[in-house]
A and B are shown apart, each in its own frame.
Chain A
Amino acid sequence: MNASAVVFYILSAFILATGLLAVTSRKIFRTAIWLLFSLTGVAGLYFWLGMQFIAAVQVVVYVGGIVVLIIFSIFLTQQSGKDLPSPLRRRTVFSALAACIGFALTCLLLSRYSSFRVKESDYDFAPDMSISAIGNQLLSTSEHGYVLPFEVISILLLAAMIGCIVIAMKSKPGDK
């Protein structure tokens, strides 16, 4: 086992442990912080895989955007010092059972059918090459270009932004 493998196992243990804490912690603010650690660990996994651009996007959008938004909404909607009510024991047991059975089934399928034809990855992007290739292909109008989904996503983001403003707007006391 070399250093790269050790890094991978440490990263995955970190992601899974903080993810588990994020769904089981009783204080909602700590939940958000554990989620932040888990998402940072996923960004580290992307770095480990050699996908620098997607790791940077993960850090900027998830860690810098979504988690901050979630923390703001926690502050807006409840007292962060209070404990969450603990779920019903029956529900906890059955959810854990469902998750464990699903995990076991998927692992069984994976271990049985995981004979992928993995290419010898001698072809490795230099990081700046990879990013310029991503940019060129994302905005190209040729056969394998992604300019149409790119524009659709931009319209979707605009619609989501307007929708958020309309939904969260305070209605005046007079009308309604």
Chain B
Amino acid sequence: MNQIPLSHILFVSTALFFIGMYGLFTRRNMITMLMAVELILNSVNINFIAFNKYLYPEKLEGVFFSLFIIAIAAAEAAVAIAIIINLYRNLHSIDVEAADEMKF
């Protein structure tokens, strides 16, 4: 592991972040947008773990940040899917362009 410089891991996580951003911009389907958000959150987690392992290998703060990010991502995905299912019931579509009124 020591042969790889830290910046290479950061390059990978940057690339993953911008892949997720591209997906978030191009997709109009809510479920696929949610998947792009998951990719972005994963790239952040990689950064936390890599910094923890390379710069402060005797501490665990990066691990805790990643754990809390994973927990919040799970809660966020569950709430988002509940909202998507509710929207689908009302609008019969999960395209974000179709959800253009704030009436229930």
Interface residues of A (CB under 8 A from B): 1-2, 4-5, 8, 12, 15-16, 19-20, 22-24, 28, 31-32, 35, 38-39, 42, 45-46, 48-51, 53-54, 57-58, 61-62, 65-66, 69-70, 73-74, 76-78, 84-85, 87, 91-92, 94-96, 98-100, 102-103, 106-107, 110-111, 114, 116-121, 123-124, 133-134, 137-138, 146, 149, 153, 156-157, 160-161, 163-165, 167-168, 170
Contact = CB atoms under 8 A, between A and B. Distances in A.
* In the A-B complex, the 7 residue pairs with the closest CB atoms: A23-B23, A95-B25, A160-B75, A114-B7, A168-B82, A164-B82, A99-B22
Given A95-B26, A116-B6, A119-B57, A156 B75 contact: yes
A114 B31 CA distance: 36
Contact of B26 (A92, A106, A137, A146): A92
B60 interface: yes
Nearest to A106: B14
Contacts of A32: 35
Interface residues of B, number: 69
A103 B18 contact: yes
